[in-house]
Structure 1
Amino acid sequence: MCSNNDYVSEEEIWVFYKDREEWADVTPVPQDDGPHAVVRIAYTDAFSDVYDYFRAVVASGEMSERALELTEDAINMNAANYTVWQYRRKILKHLGSDLEKELAFCREMIEMNPKNYQVWHHRRVIVEWLGDPSKELRLTEMIFSQDAKNYHAWEHRQWVLRTFKLFDGELEYVNRLIEEDVRNNSAWNQRHFTITQTTGFTPEVIEREIEYVKAAIEKVVGNESPWSYLRGVVQHCDGGMNSIGNLEDWCRKMYDGGERSPHLLTFIVDLMEDKMERDLELRPAILKHCLEICDSLASEHDQIRKEYWRYIGRNLSHRFGA
C-alpha cells in the first residue's frame, strides 16, 4: 500500500479500481456535493476513484477481504475519515480477521498520523477486542520520544493503565520524563493521574510530593508546570495550603532572596488568601502584603494580565478588608 503522498507523486502507476477486473461487478458511487457547492474540493483522480468505490461498498453492505483492502487504501488517503474506520471495524469483526495483524497496521498508521484521533480510537477498540494491552505502553513511549506532549498518546496510555491496572512502574517512568524535561507539563499531569489512581493523596504522599516538586521548582523557578502541580497537591490538604511542607517559609525565603517569578508571586497570593480565611487576627497585615504583591504583578512582573491582578486585588479587599 502507498502513503497519501505516494498516491499523489506516483499516480501514473496507480491502478484505478475502475480498471481492476476483480471490481468490474461494482458500480462506483460518485460524491454528491449538490448543485451549488460553496467550495468544491479538487480531489485527485485516485482519491475520487477509491472513495467512489468505498461508497458503493458501503451502500451494498459488502464485507469481504477486497472491501477490507479498499478501506486500507481509503485510510492511506485520508486517515481522519471516521466512516472508513468504522466500516473497517465492521468488516474485521464479520470476517474474524487476524487482530494482531490489524494492530501492526494500526501502528503504521499511528507512526504516520500520531495526532489523528481516529487512528488512536481504532487502536483502542482493537485492544479491547483482544483483551491484550501488552504492546500499548511501549507504543506510547515510542510516540513520546518523538513528541512528549502528544495528547492522544497520553489519553491512550491513561486508558490502558486504568482499564488493565498496569500502574506498577508508572511513577518511576514519569520520574524519568520529568528528569529529562522538568517543563514537561504532560508528565506532571501524568504524575497526578497516577497517584490519584493508586495510593491517593494521603498526608504521607502529600508531604513526599511537596518535597519532590519543591526540588523541581528550585531548579527552574520560572517553570509553570511544577507550580501548577504543587497547587494541585496542596488542594488535598485538609488543614490548608500551609499545613504540610512549610510552604510559607519556603516561598518567603525565595522572595527575600530577590526572586520575583510571577509563578512564585501567584502562589504567595494563594497562600495568603488561604491564611486570611483561617486567621482573622493577622488578616489586616496579610491583606496589605497581598495587595502589594498583586500590584507588583500588575505593574511589573505579569503586566500582560494586569487587569486580572487589579481585579484580584479589588476582590481580596472586598472579602477581607471589612
Structure 2
Amino acid sequence: MSDSGDSDVSFVLYKERPEWRDVVPVREDDGPNPVVVIAHSEKFEDVYDYFRAILKSNEKSERALQLTKEAVELNPANYTVWQYRRDLLKALGTDLRSELDYVESVIRHSPKNYQVWHHRRVLVEWLKDPSLELELTGDALLQDPKNYHAWQHRQWVIKTFGLYDHEMEFVENLIVEDVRNNSAWNQRYFVVNNHLGWSDLNVQKEVCYALEKIKFIKNNESAWNYLRGVLLHDKRGLSGNAVVTNFCEELYRNKSVSHSPYLLAFMIDICDEAIKKGEISSLHGPERAIELCHALATKYDKIRCKYWNYVSEKFKKVKKELDEKAEKEKTELED
C-alpha cells in the first residue's frame, strides 16, 4: 500500500468530485518553519486534506467511511484514521463481518502494522467472536514466524477466549520446522504458564523437552533460555535438578562437541545459585565458575570477553571471602 501505483490511473481527486464540493479541504499545517518537509504525491495530499476536513466537521457518512479506506491505503499506520474509522463504523451500524474481511486484506499487505492489528482486536471484542483469529494469525506466522504483532494478537485471543486446546500442537510444528524460533519457544512457555500450569510433572516434562532439543542443536540459545525459564518453577532450582546438572556435565565432558557458550553460561548460573544456597562443591563453586568465565572470555565468547571478565571478578571476590573464612575457622580451631 502506497501513494502511487496502477490504481492511480483511474483515481479521481476528491477536489474534482462533484459530490465533495460542499467540503473545504484542510491543508496540512507544519508551522511557519518546518524542520523537515515531507514530499507527498498529489493523491496523498488530496486524500488527507479531505480527511482532515471531515475530521474537523465530525462528519459521519458512508462517503467519510470510504475516504478513511483511501487514507488507510496510503498510510496504514495512521492511528487517527483507524480511530475515526471505528467511530464511523459504530455511528453507521456498518456490518462488522465485512470489516473483518477488509482488515484481513490490509493485514496481508501490511502484516507488521500495529494499528491494523489493534483495529482487528477491537472488532473481535465488539463481535465477541474469535473464530477466525487462529487461522489468520497462523497464516501470518507461516509467512513470518517471528511477526511480533501476529503473536501478540494470537496470545490475546487465546487468553481472552480460552482457545488453548490445540496450541501446543501448533507450537510444536513451528519448533520442529525451526528449533531456533524464539517466538515459538516463547509461545510454548505462554501455554504452560497460562493453561497447563507448573506442576512438578509438567516442569519435568518441559525440562526433558528442552534437553532433547538441546541434544539436537547444542548452540541453540532459545532452548537454553527456555530451560532456564522452566527451572524458575522448579523448587530445586537450577543447581538442585540432578537431571539438568548431570546433562550439563556430560555435555561439558564430551570433547568431540565444541563447547556451547550457552552451556557454559548456564553452568555459571548453576554455580552462582549453588553458592547463594550454600551448597558449594567442586563442580558448583567459585573456582569452577572462574574457570568457565575464563573459557568464555578467551575462547568461546570472546566478543563479550569484558563481561565475562567482570563476572569472573565477582567470583574471585567470593572465593577470597570463602578462603579467608576457612582460614579464620582453622586458626580458631588450632587455638
TM-score, normalised with respect to structure 1: 0.95
* CA distance in 2: counterparts of 1:171 and 1:280, whole angstroms: 36
Residue type matched to 2:2 in 1?
Answer: N
Q: Deviations over 1:123-162 (max 9, x none)?
A: 0000000000000000000001100000000000000001
SS at match of 1:15: coil
Number of equivalenced pairs = 319
Decide whether the 8 Å contact of 1:207 with 1:244 is kept in 2: no
Match of 2:14 among 13, 17, 20: 17
1:72 equivalent in alignment to 2:80: no
CA shift, 1:279, in A, is 3.9
Q: 1:10 to 1:140 in 2, by over 3 A?
A: closer
Aligned residue for 1:29?
A: 26
Q: Percent identity?
A: 46
CA shift, 1:10, in A, is 4.7
Aligned residue for 2:235?
A: 238
* CA distance in 2: counterparts of 1:257 and 1:280, whole angstroms: 25
Residue type matched to 2:297 in 1?
Answer: A
SS at match of 1:4: coil
* CA distance in 1: counterparts of 2:217 and 2:171, whole angstroms: 18
Aligned residue for 1:58?
A: 55
1:276 equivalent in alignment to 2:297: no
Aligned residue for 1:316?
A: 315
Q: Which runs of 5+ in 1 are unaligned?
A: none
* CA distance in 1: counterparts of 2:51 and 2:266, whole angstroms: 57
Aligned residue for 2:264?
A: 265
CA shift, 1:321, in A, is 3.6
Decide whether the 8 Å contact of 2:287 with 2:319 is kept in 1: no
Decide whether the 8 Å contact of 2:275 with 2:284 is kept in 1: no
- The equivalences for 1:282-297 within 5 A come to 282=281, 286-297=285-296
Aligned residue for 1:212?
A: 209
* CA distance in 1: counterparts of 2:269 and 2:280, whole angstroms: 18
CA shift, 1:14, in A, is 1.7
Aligned residue for 1:87?
A: 84
CA shift, 1:62, in A, is 0.3
Decide whether the 8 Å contact of 1:298 with 1:305 is kept in 2: yes
Aligned residue for 1:104?
A: 101
Q: 1:281 to 1:168 in 2, by over 3 A?
A: closer
Please identify the structure whose Cα radius of gyration is greater.
2
Match of 2:46 among 30, 46, 49: 49
Residue type matched to 1:208 in 2?
Answer: K
Decide whether the 8 Å contact of 2:270 with 2:284 is kept in 1: no
CA shift, 1:282, in A, is 2.6
* CA distance in 2: counterparts of 1:284 and 1:11, whole angstroms: 70
Farther off after superposition, 147-156 or 282-291: 282-291
Aligned residue for 2:175?
A: 178
Q: Deviations over 1:200-219 (max 9, x none)?
A: 11111110001101000111
1:38 equivalent in alignment to 2:31: no
RMSD: 1.5
Q: Deviations over 1:175-215 (max 9, x none)?
A: 11111110100000000011000121111111000110100
Q: Deviations over 1:89-134 (max 9, x none)?
A: 0000001100000000000000000000000000000000000000
* CA distance in 2: counterparts of 1:10 and 1:95, whole angstroms: 27
Aligned residue for 1:249?
A: 246
Residue type matched to 1:109 in 2?
Answer: V
Aligned residue for 1:221?
A: 218
Residue type matched to 1:121 in 2?
Answer: H
Decide whether the 8 Å contact of 1:167 with 1:198 is kept in 2: yes
